[in-house]
Chain A
Amino acid sequence: MNDNPLIALFSYFALLSLFAVGGANAAIPEMHRIAVDVMHWMSDRQFADSFAIAQVSPGPNIIIVTLIGYHVAGFAGAAVATIAMCVPTCILAFFVARTWDRFKDARWRIAIQAGLVPVSLGLIAASAFVLARSADHNVYAGILTATTAVVGFATRTNPLWLFAAGGLIGLSGIF
């Protein structure tokens, strides 16, 4: 820990981002290992709390890196950790997307794209399943999940209304 904490934050998260195939949820265990076990930036409890805060906040769940960065080095740490997690992969995504669009009609590109879509869909479905198993720990949560799924699929209602209604019920203490 003799290093400048900002440099340590940047190098860890930039490296992690490039290996985080599968997105935020796939990267959480490695993040925990670095922040808690290797660098001793925070306790187990603080990490769990950061995870909860990131999930309650709107936006991508990867925002947990902002909280870890803030914990380590204040506002500068928050900014550096967020940039490290997003910028390297975004630069890669930018160049891949441009190449991808340039070869729009190439046979290999069409095959790769057609092959990736069903795998992608299966993986999203799997994450919904894993989420449901941890979220629906009582009958009210299960009903809320099912209601949101049906309303989200069958209507054009803004789902935030369901979130709000669910939130009021949640604060009343049933959950």
Chain B
Amino acid sequence: MSSAAAAPPVNRPSLPELFRAFVIVSISGFGGALPWARRMIVEQKGWMTAEEFNEAFALSQFLPGPNVVNFSVVFGSRFGGAPGAAVALAGLMGPPLIIVTVLAVLYARFGDLEALSRILAVITAAATGLLISVVAKMAAPLFQKRWDWAPFVAAAAFIGVAIMQWPLPLVFVALAPVSIGIAWMKR
């Protein structure tokens, strides 16, 4: 992993490119923006390797607050410092802010959500599929490496939250130190 983290990214985005990329991620991001962020950054632009993306997203996930919003700041600051972070955040939050405000005005006027709930059912079903595909893609580097322990930690986190339905912060607090400890000793 150290070699992958040290390897320079293939390309570097300029500030306008950064802004445009996060606008596209945000307006495509029905039912969650993570799959779209990965598609844009790893698959289309080559700004990060699959492993770098996993690492940056893991960091974003364990900071408090919305994951993808944190990710835009982590990613933007790495490539453009404070202006990069601001530009990525503005690209991510600007368009949905406008769209959702328009929807709020419409809702206040009409307030009928029957069509909306049917659209929602479809979006959620499709977005779930997209999220599953991203989990599979993000898992790939874990199984290629010799970190034999990593898939077991991932499985434990999954079982804790999805099957046992324990609170997420609890699962994290219990599991992260163990996982970090193993990573420390393996190195």
Contact = CB atoms under 8 A, between A and B. Distances in A.
Interface residues of B, number: 105
A59 to B, nearest CB: 3
Contacts of A171: 115, 118-119
B35 A127 contact: no
B3 to A, nearest CB: 11
A48 to B, nearest CB: 9
Contacts of A26: 168-169
Interface string A110-148: 111111111111111111111110111100111011111
A145 B123 CA distance: 10
Nearest to A48: B113
B187 A144 contact: no
B15 interface: no
Contact of B97 (A23, A78, A117): A78
Given A53-B107, A119-B153, A89 B131 contact: no
B14 interface: no
Interface of A: 17-24, 26, 49, 52-63, 66-67, 70-71, 75, 78, 82, 85-86, 88-90, 92-94, 96-98, 100-101, 104-105, 107-108, 110-132, 134-137, 140-142, 144-153, 156, 159-160, 162-163, 166-167, 169-171, 173, 175
Given A152-B132, A170-B118, 18 more contacts: A52-B120, A58-B30, A66-B104, A85-B65, A86-B89, A96-B59, A104-B5, A107-B184, A107-B187, A118-B142, A118-B157, A121-B154, A123-B168, A127-B161, A131-B124, A144-B125, A166-B122, A169-B122
25 contacts: A22-B168, A52-B116, A57-B99, A60-B26, A70-B101, A93-B85, A96-B59, A110-B183, A111-B187, A113-B5, A116-B61, A119-B153, A121-B54, A121-B142, A125-B135, A125-B157, A126-B160, A128-B131, A140-B125, A141-B122, A149-B132, A152-B133, A163-B123, A166-B123, A167-B119
